[in-house]
Amino acid sequence: MQRGLKGIVAAETAISFIDGNAGVLVYRGHPAAKVAVQHSFEEVAYLLWHGALPGAAELSALQAEMRQARQVPDFIYTLIETLPQGLDMMNQMAAAATALCPGQEKPTLAQAVQLTAAMPVIAAAVYRKEQGLPAIRPHAALGHAANYLYTLTGEVPQEAHARALEAYMILTMEHGLNASTFTARVIASTESDMASAVSGAIGALKGPLHGGAPTEVITMLEEIGTVERTEGWLRARLENGERLMGFGHRVYKTKDPRAVALRQVTEQVGQDDHWLRLAAHVEQTAIRLLEEYKPGRGLYTNVEFYAAAVMRSIGLPASMFTPTFAVSRTVGWTAHVLEQAGDNTIFRPEARYTGVIYS
């Protein structure tokens, strides 16, 4: 038995390929780090859903479809307003996604586009409700990533900020059979519907070992505070047997290519020198100490470490880190649901019984 199904092939996919030892991530044949720099969110979403980058006409059709789907019905805003105070934001997003796209029919590409376009609008409305602020309707002239920032703040974002966020969102769109994508495929395999698969995936992503790390990375950076305090703080955690958030990955045993690309984007945006300097120093020190305390485990910076740095530099609140991850990953989840539904066998692994048997 392999705990956590580590190393077990549980599905075939043509959507993405990861070589964790070489630090390679490929979306439908294209290096993710390259498409993140050269293409828009909409283009890369099209790539993951269709298998090829769009031509001009296809892109403009997708942009129009997404613009339309961003105009979510009023009842979604009302639903979010009436959900109980204290309910986790991710659970609120799951509820809204399920309400937006109900039905038991076989998952469709139109639903994938609808959920992807609506998810940032939903996340922003949930965030603003938590802040006691009214929701902001999307801006007709802005693209996916810029609209997300606009519906969060009510201000048209700086180009550099929208671009940094877009790169992050592209780099976290898809990542093979991670826990939330696996959850989505398992749900799809029962011939359940698209929104159920996506809301289940949101529940899986909510856990701190999967999508919850950036918030904890920021807490870690804030607690460390200065370059001088870095080594002592990290050493104390490791001496205590604790894990350093933003380091280690189930798949990558070398540098996570998404972390490398995001570090470049962070340097380009370069808003907050203190945080960027501190993050770079913490990264270097942590990798050295992880090799000292956990030799041979191949523990390096993961995407969440630099995601935290990017989001801090564009001023996204820490509470929005995991919801933003869900906003991006909706593309990957929906692509996998479509692939699963297209050639389906229900998932039904076995468990080894370790209890007693009474006669």
CA atoms within 13 A on the CB side of 103: 8
CB of 359 vs ligand ACO, minimal distance in Å = 38
Which residue, 8 or 141, has its beta carbon nearer to ligand ACO? 8
DSSP letters spanning 52-77: S---HHHHHHHHHHHHHHHS--HHHH
Count of all residues that appear for the chain in the document: 359
Q: Which stretch binds ligand ACO (CB under 6 A): 39-47, 88-96, 133-141, 290-298?
A: 290-298
- The residue type of 99 is A
Among 210, 263, 312, 336, binds ligand ACO (CB under 6 A): 210
* Tokens 């940094």, residue located: 164
Q: Are 331 and 45 in contact (CB under 8 A)?
A: yes
The count of residues interacting with ligand ACO (CB under 6 A) is 19
- Give the active site residues: 249, 304
Q: Which is nearer to ligand ACO, 54 or 248 (CB)?
A: 248
Find the part of the chain contacting ligand ACO (CB under 6 A) among 107-115, 227-235, 295-303, 348-356: 295-303
| Residue 16 DSSP SS3 | strand
Query: Can residue 182 be called a binding residue for ligand ACO (CB under 6 A)?
Result: no
Question: What tokens does 126 get?
Answer: 């949930």
209 binds ligand ACO (CB under 6 A): yes
Q: Which listed residue (229, 274, 288, 297) binds ligand ACO by CB under 6 A? A: 297
Q: Does 283 bind ligand ACO (CB under 6 A)?
A: no
299 binds ligand ACO (CB under 6 A): yes
Contact of 214 with 311, CB cutoff 8 Å: yes
Shortest distance, position 256 Cβ to ligand ACO, whole Å: 8
Interface with ligand ACO, residue 329, by CB under 6 A: no
In 179-269, alpha helices (H): 179-189, 194-205, 213-224, 230-239, 257-269
SS3 (DSSP) at 81: helix
Sheet holding 30-31, edge to edge: 16-19, 24-27, 30-31
Residue among 213, 218, 269, 282 that touches ligand ACO (CB under 6 A): 213
Rounded to a whole number, what is the largest CA-CA distance in the chain? 71
**At CB < 8 A and 24+ separation, what contacts does 236-242 make?**
238/289, 238/290, 238/293
Minimum CB separation from ligand ACO for residue 54, in Å? 27
CB of 263 to ligand ACO, least distance (A): 15
Asked whether the beta carbons of 164 and 266 are under 8 A apart, the reply is yes
Per-residue contact flags (x/-) with ligand ACO for residues 239 to 258, judged by CB under 6 A = ----xxxxxxxx--------
DSSP-derived secondary structure letter, 45: H
We find the least distance from the C-beta atom of residue 257 to ligand ACO, in angstroms, to be 13
- Indicate whether 302 belongs to the interface with ligand ACO (CB under 6 A): yes
Q: Does residue 336 bind ligand ACO (CB under 6 A)?
A: no
Please give the residue ranges that form the binding site for ligand ACO (CB under 6 A). Answer: 209-211, 213, 243-250, 290, 294, 297, 299, 302-304
